[in-house]
């Protein structure tokens, strides 16, 4: 039997990271020896202790500590994946430096989001691009993975309240006319795609777009109405309002603190603009930007159909994201 690839994941307790660690554990092609890297205050979190029972090693790391200590912790890994949260993205500069010093074979920085032009459209992407640029500056082997928009934050409320349990902690709105197709993936499939991508020599120093389905917001609203038999409220945000929100976000560039209510209030206009109006989050545009498509690389990986996700939601069986989190005050 070939030896297992040694992979380390930072952020295993988070939304994206918990999908990735499950994907790595379940992976058979290839098999992985898995380490979860966590801040020392988090190493005893119940989720990590559960992964430990499944054979995952848990190692404490301090991204703001001495580089030599971080490099020592990262020594010997074929792959290091980061699923760090949005507010901490720039701490990946230290993580990348540690990977370089340790001779890590491939670093996967935290992207795992929609396709967006590299700069000037979305604050969060701008920060991620600064990290990617740093990786290239230090000549660190990498793979960039983007996954489209999560299924799990697409559905509107039903008047009955029946699916409230599965909805994110903010109201759903339709960007403009709601007719722009955008790429979608169930959060549970991010790990399945990632496990395949990071063990594949063809994806070294490449960008990969792993999404499952294309839908428009109108199609989504029509589908949930048909499946539930309920009439959904359609709150369209006009293009002019989105443009005004984007202008406000641009005027505040450099002053907004990521993770604050103000950040989320302005970022949502940028998201609506990029995937709802401009139509950036699509495979053709990804290919134009130089991405490989997971659908071409792994035709056997299908991903969960959106219809199945909707049925799980209606049956009360959906995976719920951001439980107890508040984005807006």
Ligand X SMILES: NC(=O)c1ccc[n+]([C@@H]2O[C@H](COP(=O)([O-])OP(=O)(O)OC[C@H]3O[C@@H](n4cnc5c(N)ncnc54)[C@H](OP(=O)(O)O)[C@@H]3O)[C@@H](O)[C@H]2O)c1
Contacting positions for ligand X (CB under 6 A) = 10-11, 13-17, 38-39, 42, 45, 63, 83-86, 88, 91, 110, 112-114, 124, 147, 149-150, 153
With contact defined as beta carbons under 8 Å apart, do 8 and 80 qualify?
Answer: yes
Residue 17 contacts by C-beta under 8 Å, 6 or more apart in sequence? 9, 10, 11, 83
CB 193 to ligand X: min, Å: 12
Q: Of 54, 75, 128, 231, which residue is the catalytic one?
A: 128
Which lies closer to ligand X via its Cβ, residue 29 or residue 326? 326
**Phi, psi at residue 309, to the nearest 5°?**
-60, -45
Q: Which residue's CB comes closest to ligand X?
A: 14
Complete DSSP assignment for 5-66: EEEEEE-TTSHHHHHHHHHHHH--SS-EEEEEEE-GGGTT-HHHHHHHHTT-EEEE--TTS-
Q: How far is C-alpha 318 from the chain's CA centre?
A: 18
Which lies closer to ligand X via its Cβ, residue 1 or residue 257? 257
Active site includes 206?
no
What is the C-alpha separation between 46 and 51, in angstroms, rounded? 9
Which lies closer to ligand X via its Cβ, residue 88 or residue 222? 88
Which lies closer to ligand X via its Cβ, residue 230 or residue 322? 322
What is the C-alpha separation between 118 and 130, in angstroms, rounded? 9
CB 320 to ligand X: min, Å: 13
CB 17 to ligand X: min, Å: 5
Radius of gyration of the chain (CA): 20
CB 122 to ligand X: min, Å: 9
Residues annotated as catalytic (active site), given as ranges: 128
């Amino acid at each position: 039997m070939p030896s297992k690839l040694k992979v380390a994941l930072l952020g295993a307790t988070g939304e994206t990271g918990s999908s990735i660690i499950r994907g790595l554990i379940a992976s058979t092609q290839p098999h992985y020896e898995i380490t979860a890297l966590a801040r020392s205050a988090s190493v005893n979190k119940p989720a990590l202790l559960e992964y430990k029972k499944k054979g995952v090693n848990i190692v404490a790391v301090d991204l703001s500590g001495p580089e030599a200590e971080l490099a020592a912790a990262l020594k010997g890994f074929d792959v290091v994946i980061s699923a760090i949260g949005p507010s901490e993205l720039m701490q990946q500069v230290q993580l990348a430096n540690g990977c370089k010093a340790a001779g890590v074979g491939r670093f996967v920085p935290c992207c795992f989001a929609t396709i967006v032009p590299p700069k000037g459209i979305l604050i969060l992407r701008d920060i991620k691009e600064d990290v990617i640029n740093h990786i290239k500056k230090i000549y660190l082997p990498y793979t960039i993975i983007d996954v489209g928009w999560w299924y799990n934050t697409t559905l509107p409320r039903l008047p009955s309240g029946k699916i409230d349990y599965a909805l994110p902690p903010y109201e759903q709105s339709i960007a403009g006319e709601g007719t722009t197709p955008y790429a979608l993936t169930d959060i549970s499939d991010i790990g399945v795609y990632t496990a395949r991508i990071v063990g594949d020599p063809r994806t070294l120093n490449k960008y990969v777009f792993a999404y499952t389905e294309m839908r428009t917001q109108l199609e989504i609203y029509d589908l949930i109405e048909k499946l539930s038999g309920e009439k959904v409220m359609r709150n369209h945000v006009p293009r002019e309002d989105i443009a005004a929100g984007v202008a406000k976000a641009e005027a505040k560039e450099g002053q907004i603190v990521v993770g604050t209510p103000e950040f989320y209030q302005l970022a949502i206009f940028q998201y609506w603009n990029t995937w709802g109006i401009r139509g950036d989050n699509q495979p053709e545009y990804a290919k134009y930007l130089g991405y490989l498509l997971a659908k071409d690389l792994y035709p056997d990986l299908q991903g969960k159909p959106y219809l199945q996700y909707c049925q799980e939601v209606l049956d009360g069986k959906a995976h719920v994201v951001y439980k107890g989190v508040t984005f807006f005050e």
